[in-house]
């Protein structure tokens, strides 16, 4: 079973975390199931960028993003080549290392 290493994030997992993931589940579902509350304003429907993550290791093991996800990612704060929406990134057989960005568009616009 693949593992996801979440790098430390001041709000969501200050110490970082290592969680087990089921192949075929999304990064956000694995995170939420393990108490890492990644924001997901659109309820995981690929209609916002609040669940944006950067996959630091294992990026190429993920299923490719589709055009809708790519269009949404273009609006994400801090976009990087290894950025994905965690509600769309499906875990494969390889371990991942994931960074949750410091800000999301939703948090910035609301003054958090």
Taking only the tens place, the pLDDT of each residue in 52-105 is: 999 999 999 998 999 999 999 999 989 999 999 999 999 999 999 999 998 776
What total number of domains does the chain contain?
Answer: 1
Round to whole Å and give the CA distance between 41 and 51. Answer: 8
> Where residue 103 sits, what CATH number does that domain have?
3.10.20.30
- Which residue pairs, CB below 8 angstroms and at least 24 apart, start in 66-75? 72/46, 72/47, 72/48, 73/49, 75/49, 75/105
Contact assessment for residue 69 and residue 89, using Cβ atoms and an 8 Å cutoff: no
pTM confidence score: 0.90
Contact 2, 94 (CB under 8 A): yes
Task: Determine the structural domain holding residue 98 and report its residue range.
Answer: 3-109
């Amino acid at each position: 079973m693949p593992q996801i290493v979440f790098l430390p994030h001041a709000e969501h997992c200050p110490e970082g975390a290592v969680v087990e993931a089921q192949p075929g589940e999304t990064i956000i579902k694995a995170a939420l199931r393990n108490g890492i509350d990644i924001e997901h304003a659109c309820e995981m429907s690929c209609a916002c960028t609040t669940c944006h993550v950067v996959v630091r290791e294992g990026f190429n093991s993920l299923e490719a993003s589709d055009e809708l996800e790519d269009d949404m990612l273009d609006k994400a704060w801090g976009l990087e080549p290894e950025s994905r929406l965690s509600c769309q990134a499906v875990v494969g057989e390889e371990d991942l290392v994931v960074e949750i960005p410091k800000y999301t568009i939703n948090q910035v616009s609301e003054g958090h």
